[in-house]
Structure 1
Amino acid sequence: MEIDYGLELSQSQKLIMTTKLMQSLKILNMSAVELENEIKKQAEENPIIEIDTKDNDRTVDWEKYIKNMQKYTYKDKNEFAYNVDNEVDFENMVRANQNLYDYLKNQIRYYKIDKTQRKICEYIIDSLDENGYLNEQDEKLIMEKLKIDKNTYDTCKGYVQSLEPNGVGGTTLEECLSIQLKNLNIKDNLLDQIIKEDLNNIANKKIKPICKKYSINKEQCINYIKIIKHLEPKPGKMYNTNDVQYIKPDVIIRKINGSFIVVSNDKNDISININSFYQNMLNKEDADEETKKFIKERLDSALNLIKNIENRKSTTIKIAKSILKRQKEFFEKGTNYIKPMKMQELADELNLHQSTISRGVNGKYMLTPFGMFEFKYFFSKGLETQGTKDTSAISIKNFIKDIIRKENKTKPLSDEKIKQLLNKNGVNISRRTVTKYREELEILPSNKRKTLFLE
């Protein structure tokens, strides 16, 4: 076998993912709030960068303002003078948002119980989930961890269950609701039994089995259901603020002289400036070469950040203008008139790659005459209609929502009936598709939408 060694030249194309390119793609993919946080982070890491929040509507000469205050301020003889010896400390009067656990622990401090019981109660409180429930498996673990017997545990658990919000400390939905009845001083054994055994029948609007089981009439059953509906299934949810999200529109659609235009929402944006101290240092002839090298690297990084932010802004504007052009009927008439649109269509029009469009719409919002909408909202597939162009899935979902909103609540429409109504209006759609869209809209089926009595 002969082995031959030699050199061979070949050409190939490769995309090198540089740090600058990665940052460009990352920034393009960010929402407005994420971009603000990224700028602040870069400013902390790069001394060349100075950030400033734009506020073109208010400029205050604070020195002049304070002098005027001192000039025209008068002293009331009855005014309370504050000094460090005052009993009231105003710093302690600042209100802070309490979470569920702090709120419960603050209440338990007013109970006349010994230190051991208080510690057990606080441990039980810390074991609750965000909705105020106690995991059944945690009960044994708590007793083992604290080395206490069942009677001591039940006593302390009873203290916790007597706290506000009403219903905390239950291990199941049934127990949570029963606790609320007890704390409201509602003593009705039949109602308590319905809660423990028949919540599924109530959820499915099946009142006949309940009436038959407990030998009560329909009116009595409905009265019991009304009481149950006024109880809180998740007593701790009002203190759960982890899901708060802030949305800032990237563009605003305005109508001027009868025409819609796209306006960049850069009001109060963070502006990036280059620190003049480092600029001057770079121009000094006697500056150290290592220092100059460091400044140049940091300056290059800052300028690259500015360039990528401007690129994100221009791409967002281009996409918004294209959406406005293609969805003009939506901006004129509302959500029922949105048309089918694909990202590839915009990519072809703007001469961009589809992945660039995808990043360009991710987390971006526009403020329209009909409210705030995510860019992604405008992209959907079309379904065939009779005698007209394709109708977007979003429009059909809006039609379904309108039909259900206007239906007789005591006789809700089935998916088959909704399909028939849509077909009459020229939308060719199957019952399975109606069911799929209804579920995506998080609307219950007809048997669960039925209202047994007026609210």
Structure 2
Amino acid sequence: MKQGLSLRVSQHLALTPQLQQSIRLLQLSTLELSQEVEQMLDDNPFLERTAEEAAREEFGLDTSDTPAPREDDRDADFSGSTASTSSDDTPSSASSETESPVADVADREPDWEGDGTVELTPDDGEWGGDAQASGNNLGPNDGSERIDATELARSQESLQSFLHRQALSLRLNANDQAALRFLIESLNDDGYLEDSLPALASGLAGDDNDQFDDLVHHFQVALGLLQSLEPVGVGARDLGECLAIQLRALAPANAARESENARQVRKTALLICKQPMELLARRDFKRLATLTRSNEEEVRSALQMIARLEPKPGRRFVDVERNIVVPDVIVTRTGRGATLKFRVMLNPDVMPRLRVHDIYAGALKAHKGEGSQALSQRLQEARWFIKNIQQRFDTILRVSNAIVERQKSFFVHGELAMRPLVLREIADELGLHESTISRVTTAKYMATPYGTVELKYFFGSALGTETGGNASSTAVRALIKQFVTAEDIKKPLSDSQVSEMLKEQGIECARRTVAKYREALRIAPANLRKAL
């Protein structure tokens, strides 16, 4: 083999750290971006919040030190102005009302000072006649002590606290009280006791058989007490037991007042709760009637009674953090009739107002010495972060303008007028890549005259029509939902019937496609939608 030297020229794409950060910021949701900004403010001393809008040119970079990141989808001009679209098919010129989406929008700071807590208990001086109550003043002129709505949502009482408070009124010995407290803490969010009593006892007693038997006895006593507390059905070990507890609680205090028919229906319902829950879910009247030795009419009445019960007693106590959807883009109507236009603007409440700390940057520039290289890198990171946030919102606005322009019918007539739209169409129009459009439309929301929806909502595949045109899958789903809403509950529409009704509207949609769309809309099958 002969050895030799050769020269080869090749090109490859290298993702710089700045470009990687830009791509990552683009796909973050509003909440994730807020967390990212908080983290950057903590880590980088050159970055600070500002109440005023900083000029965009203030963040221009010295390209002699670090080359600007380039991407195949960044050749377009990020104008940052709002745009208007007309209700007709031809796009109108940009609106005279423009707003610059500078990415330095205020991050809402709490109005109170100190450690972030609000004192809700009035002091001694507030008991006078002229004293004003402090704390939870939620009116429009609430001064500087407003309570955040999220904090109020989080301050609700938990299921365990509610049960412990009821247990205080019970006269129990120390062992039963401890057992009841242990069972309360063992409940899940729905109010169910997932582990069996022997399993709970074995976890505490270990290999001590005498202690195990004693614990099981105390747990059995405590379980009966727990199931007598509010909310009714708490402490059940499965759905059937939960429903049975609630059914027994429906019995009137004076049994003589209960009619024979009502007593029989409740008895049948209790028997149904002992059967497999699959039969109840399928509403298998004949099978349930056979197992409970009742007639179908009694089974139907019993199922109606069961339908009014709460399958998850702890539902109202679950302290889930409310995922409040804050729109990134706001679309408003202007004008009427032929002059109807839609104004697209970024939501200023989701855009952080950031700037480079002038004093620190000036001090670094004036005194360059040991360690200045690391600080210069931190300064450059702050500038890149602000620039990438600006570019993120510019891209979101451009994509939103293109969506509104192509889906004008939706903004005029609603989801039934939605047109087919795919990512490639927006990407080709804006000169961006499809992956960029996908990142922009994921977890980003638009406030429209018909509610707040995700940007991906406007994209849908096309279904053929008899006229040779196309119908959006979003519009077809809306039409299916409309058919189901207007159906006779005693004779619900099957998927085949819905398919035929769509064909009458000129839309070719197979039964399987109807079933797929129905499941996506979380609509039950026809046999489960049928009225009892």
Q: Same fold (TM over 0.5)?
A: yes
Identify which of 84, 97, 119 aligns with 2:156.
Answer: 97
Distance 1:340 1:117 in 2: 65
CA contact (8 A) 1:170 1:176 kept: yes
Deviations 1:210-245 (A, max 9, x none): 456556555544432232112110111222233631
Contact 1:205–1:450 (CA under 8 A) maintained in structure 2: no
What is residue 235 of structure 1 aligned with on the other side? 313
TM-score, normalising length: structure 1: 0.85
Q: Matched residues in 1 for 2:421 and 2:453: separation?
A: 15
AA aligned to 1:159 is L
Query: 1:347, 1:77 → 2: CA distance?
Result: 66
Aligned-partner residue type, residue 301 of structure 2: N
Tell me whether 1:270 sits opposite 2:329 in the alignment: no
Corresponding residue SS for 1:47: coil
What is the RMSD computed on CA atoms of the aligned residues?
3.0
Number of the residue aligned with 1:160: 226
Does the 8 Å contact 1:340/1:390 carry over to 2? yes
For residues 417 and 266 of structure 1, the distance between their equivalents in structure 2, rounded to whole angstroms, comes to: 47
Alignment map for 1:276-425 (pairs within 5 Å):
276-284=358-366, 287=367, 289-425=369-505
Do 2:354 and 2:386's aligned partners in 1 also have CA atoms closer than 8 Å? yes
Structure 1, 372-381 or 217-226: larger mean CA deviation: 217-226
1:174 aligns with 2:254: no
Q: Which amino acid aligns with 1:178?
A: A
For residues 221 and 20 of structure 1, do their structure 2 counterparts lie closer, same or farther at Cα, with a shift above 3 Å needed? same
Relative to structure 1, the CA distance from residue 200 to residue 141 in structure 2 (aligned partners, 3 Å threshold; closer, same or farther) is: closer
Contact 1:386 1:428 in 2 (8 A): yes
C-alpha separation between the residues in 1 aligned to 2:156 and 2:276? 38
State the alpha-carbon separation in 2 of the partners of residues 115 and 10 from structure 1. 84
For residues 57-98 of structure 1, the C-alpha deviation after alignment (integer angstroms, 9 at most, x for no partner) is: 9xx9x9xxxxxxxxxxx999656899xxxxxxxxxxx99322
Provide Cα deviations, 1:387-445, integer angstroms capped at 9, x if missing partner.
Answer: 15200111111110000000000111111111111111101111111111111111111
Partner of 1:87: none
Q: Does the CA contact (< 8 Å) of 1:33 and 1:247 recur in 2?
A: no
How far does the alpha carbon of each residue in 1:154-210 deviate from its partner, in whole angstroms, 9 at most, with x for none? 111222222222211111100111122334446854431122126544433343454
More RCO (CA 8 Å, sep 6+)? 2
Task: Tell me how far 1:279 sits from its aligned partner.
Answer: 2.6
Pair 1:256 & 2:334 matched: yes
Return the alpha-carbon distance in structure 2 between the equivalents of residues 292 and 200 of structure 1: 70
Q: 1:81 to 1:329 in 2, by over 3 A?
A: closer
Cα pair distance change 1:52/1:163, threshold 3 Å? farther
Distance 1:108 1:44 in 2: 45
Residue equivalent to 2:94 = none
Using structure 2 for the length normalisation, give the TM-score: 0.73
| 1:33–1:248 CA contact under 8 A, matched in 2 | no
Structure with bigger helix share is 1
SS in 2 for 1:383: strand
Return the offset for 1:270: 2.2
Distance 1:81 1:337 in 2: 54
Report how many residues are paired.
423
CA distance in 1, matches of 2:305, 2:230: 19
- The residue number in structure 2 matching 1:246 is 324
Q: Distance in 2 between matches of 1:263 and 1:447?
A: 46
Distance 1:120 1:344, change over 3 A: same
In structure 2, runs of 5+ residues without a counterpart are 52-104, 114-124, 134-151, 206-211, 253-262
2:200 to 142, 149, 152: 142
Q: 1:409 to 1:243 in 2, by over 3 A?
A: farther
* Of 7, 12, 16, the match for 2:14: 16
Q: Give identity over the alignment, percent.
A: 33
Task: Spell out the pairing of 1:443-454 with structure 2 (5 A cutoff).
Answer: 443-452=523-532
- Range that drifts further, 275-284 or 246-255: 275-284
What is the DSSP-based 3-state SS (H/G/I as helix, E as strand, rest coil) of the residue aligned with 1:129? Answer: coil
Consecutive unaligned residues in structure 1, runs of 5 or more: 63-73, 83-93
